[in-house]
């Protein structure tokens, strides 16, 4: 496989952007406002969080039927998260990892289940654009899946999945990589627990700077 890899696709939330504890706190504020039981910390959040987000909301106790409160809850969550996440920073080693991949001559993009405008607002303050060849989010706030974005990007770039490494923090990232035939590495510092990520079959790293070592081997 050596010499085949041409691109790295980075996830944003939980992978480069360290927002795990923010998301737990915001979820608990939302649950309190809607009169629902709160999360019992990060482990409880890890056990419940999943894609599509509507199923995660259902597990939290929201009514996801057509006449339910899911949409109102999702809008309120985004308002709370938008304010709270301004205090979040990048994971330790994120900039070093991006710089090392760039120095290796491998192109890299962000593909996120965050809404495009919100994604841009979060990414811009960190000055990462010179290291990236694209920033791609979804069209709405409901985070159903980013698979269609990944497939469209691969098609537009004329790429085969085998030339791409996906880096993410969730089972959804693994599922997308599998679906398009790409390589995958999962980061343990985000929205799914390390034990769960390890059960999926992809390499799991605890330091984002290890991505450059994987790039060198692919």
Stated pTM of the model: 0.94
Residues 6+ apart with CB under 8 A from 213: none
Q: Which two tokens stand for residue 17?
A: 């952007």
Q: What pLDDT score was predicted for residue 155?
A: 95
Q: What is the DSSP string of the chain?
A: -TT---EEEE-TBTTTEE-HHHHHHHHHHHHHHTT-PPP-SHHHHHHH--SSHHHHHHHHT---STTSSHHHHHHHHHHHHHHHGGG-EEPTTHHHHHHHHHHTT-EEEEEEEEEHHHHHHHHGGGT-GGG-S-EEEESSSS---SHHHHHHHHHHHT--GGGEEEEESSHHHHHHHHHHT-EEEEETTSSS-HHHHHTTSS-EESSGGGHHHHHHH-
* Cα 16 to Cα 187: distance, rounded to the nearest angstrom: 9
Q: What are phi and psi of 146, to 5 degrees?
A: -110, 10
* Most distant CA pair in the chain, distance: 54
Q: What pLDDT score was predicted for residue 217?
A: 85
Digitized pLDDT (tens) for each residue of the chain, 218 residues in all: 344 899 999 999 999 999 999 999 999 999 999 999 999 999 999 999 998 899 999 999 999 999 999 999 999 999 999 999 999 999 999 999 999 999 999 999 999 988 899 999 999 999 999 999 999 998 865 655 788 899 999 999 999 999 999 999 999 999 999 999 999 999 999 999 999 999 999 999 999 999 999 998 88
């Amino acid at each position: 496989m050596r010499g085949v890899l041409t691109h790295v696709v980075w996830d944003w939330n939980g992978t480069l952007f360290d927002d795990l504890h923010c998301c737990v706190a915001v979820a608990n504020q939302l649950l309190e406002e809607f009169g629902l039981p709160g999360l019992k910390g990060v482990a409880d959040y890890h056990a419940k969080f999943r894609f599509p987000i509507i199923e995660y909301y259902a597990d939290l106790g929201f009514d996801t039927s057509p006449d339910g409160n899911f949409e109102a809850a999702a809008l309120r969550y985004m308002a709370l998260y938008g304010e709270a996440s301004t205090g979040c920073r990048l994971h330790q080693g994120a900039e070093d990892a991006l710089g090392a991949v760039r120095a290796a001559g491998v192109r890299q993009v962000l593909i996120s289940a965050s809404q495009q405008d919100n994604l841009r607002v979060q990414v811009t303050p960190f000055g990462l654009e010179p290291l990236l060849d694209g920033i791609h989010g979804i069209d709405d706030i409901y985070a159903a899946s980013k698979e269609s974005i990944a497939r469209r990007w691969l098609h537009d770039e004329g790429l085969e999945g085998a030339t791409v490494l996906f880096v993410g923090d969730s089972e959804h990232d693994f599922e997308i990589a599998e679906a398009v035939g790409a390589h995958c590495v999962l980061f343990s510092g985000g929205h799914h627990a390390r034990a769960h990520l390890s059960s999926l079959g992809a390499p799991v790293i605890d330091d984002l700077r290890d991505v450059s070592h994987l790039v060198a081997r692919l």
